[in-house]
């Protein structure tokens, strides 16, 4: 049995940022031509199962559902449902953080914009891309570690 804490941090959206101890990036969950909207959920579940196994994930951290746009809220909520259901099936603990908590931790300001979050991830975490989803996932990972005192 693995006693190590293996965290997966997610910025859940159609372009889903992810971060573990060994990898970070973005999963494209976009619906392709002639696909049902359920394909996004299938892609997400497949990616989760794959990374759970590869990284022996036993804790997931993610950003709480928020926003102003109805369609984005629906997509986030559906993906959160897939995540929580799979975590329950796999006996993996999970925790959500608000956008404000994540931004304040990363930049000192709870209302930081995307550019500021990216710049902070590049400067403080060594991120080499300019993707806000990846930056957010990396910061969620750091917030989770901080909340655990590690």
Give the closest residue to 41 by CA, choosing from 86, 95, 90, 98.
Answer: 86
pLDDT (0 to 100) of residue 1: 44
pLDDT tens per residue, range 18-45: 999 999 999 999 999 999 989 999 999 9
Q: What per-residue confidence (pLDDT) applies to 12?
A: 96
3-class secondary-structure state, position 21: coil
Instruction: Go through the domains of the chain in sequence order and give each one's CATH number.
Output: 7-148 (3.30.420.10)
pLDDT reported for residue 46: 98
Q: Rounded to 5 degrees, what are φ and ψ at 55?
A: -100, 0
Q: What is the pLDDT, as a whole number, of residue 65?
A: 81
Any idea which residue has 């559906």 for tokens? 78
What beta strand segments (E) does the chain contain? 7-11, 15-19, 24-28, 59-63, 93-97
Residue 30, exposed/middle/buried by CB under 10 A (0-12, 13-18, 19+)? exposed
One digit per residue, the tens of pLDDT, for the chain of length 150 reads: 456 899 999 999 999 999 999 999 999 999 999 999 899 999 999 999 999 999 999 999 999 887 777 888 899 999 999 999 999 999 999 999 999 999 999 999 999 999 999 999 999 999 999 999 999 999 999 999 999 999
In 3-state terms the chain splits into helix, strand, coil percentages (rounded to 5) of 50, 15, 30
3-class DSSP assignment, residue 10: strand
């Amino acid at each position: 049995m693995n006693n190590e804490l293996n965290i997966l941090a997610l910025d859940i959206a159609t372009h889903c940022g992810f971060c573990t101890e060994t990898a970070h990036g973005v999963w494209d969950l976009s619906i392709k031509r002639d696909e049902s909207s359920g394909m996004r959920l299938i892609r997400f579940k497949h990616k989760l199962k794959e990374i759970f196994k590869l990284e022996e994930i036993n804790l997931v951290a993610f950003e709480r559902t928020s926003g102003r746009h109805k369609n984005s809220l629906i997509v986030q909520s559906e993906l959160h449902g897939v995540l929580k259901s799979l975590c329950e099936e796999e006996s993996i603990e999970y925790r959500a953080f608000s956008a404000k908590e994540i931004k304040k931790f990363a930049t000192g300001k709870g209302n930081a914009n995307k550019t500021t979050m990216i710049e902070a991830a590049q400067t403080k975490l060594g991120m080499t891309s300019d993707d806000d989803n990846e930056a957010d996932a990396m910061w969620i990972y750091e917030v989770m570690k901080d909340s655990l005192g590690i």
